[in-house]
Amino acid sequence: MPEVRLVGPNGEQVGIVPIAKALELARESDLDLVEVAPTARPPVAKLMDYGKFKYESAMKAREARKNQAHTVIKEIKLRPKIDPHDYETKKGHVVRFLKAGDKVKVTIMFRGREQSRPELGFRLLQRLADDVEELGFVESRPKQDGRNMIMVIGPHKKKAEAKAERAAARGQDAEHGTA
């Protein structure tokens, strides 16, 4: 006669009982008999409200997804002969993206004769990497890709940490009455 190791609705061990007895106990207590460890000898079954169990596990999964941070790759495009003020503006964008915990893909577009001077683009990318090194690190070194040169900078802070930091700063602003 097939038997199962039965676990009660509150996690208490009932013991090894025949399947018919386990089903009868489940019917009496208006619960479901759910097999939780089919490979064990004998298999383990638990008395529980299966609908409630499914609902709670779905809610846990949803909560976990909500707290998950999505890493986004932001892209900034530059030209080798960029004006100093424009460079500062673009650098400001890179800093903002890195502070938010996002990766930044920096692309330098070469046109015409500029393609014969890739070292200009390399120097510009190196300068940008040095300017933002306290916020991020070079994840992939500059490499030529057709008429573009691409480099990826990753943040030192994880997206979740940056999010928590912003929330804390917002909370502090609310305390001091500044918004």
Give 42-93 pLDDT, tens digit per residue: 999 999 998 998 999 999 988 888 777 677 789 999 998 889 999 999 999 9
pLDDT at residue 166 above 90? no
- Does pTM surpass 0.95? no
Compute the mean pLDDT over every residue in the chain, rounded to the nearest whole number.
86
Which domains, ranges and CATH numbers included, belong to the chain? 3-66 (3.10.20.80), 73-159 (3.30.110.10)
Find out whether the peptide bond into 84 is cis, omega within 30 degrees of 0: no
Q: Which residues touch 91 (CB under 8 Å, ≥6 apart)?
A: 128, 131, 132
Q: Among 2-16, 56-70, 98-112, which stretch is predicted with the lowest mean pLDDT?
A: 56-70
pLDDT, residue 114, reads 86
pLDDT at residue 161 above 80? no
pLDDT at residue 177 above 80? no
pLDDT, residue 1, reads 63
CA separation for the pair 144, 122 (Å, rounded): 9
Q: Which residues touch 136 (CB under 8 Å, ≥6 apart)?
A: 94, 98, 104, 153, 154, 155, 156
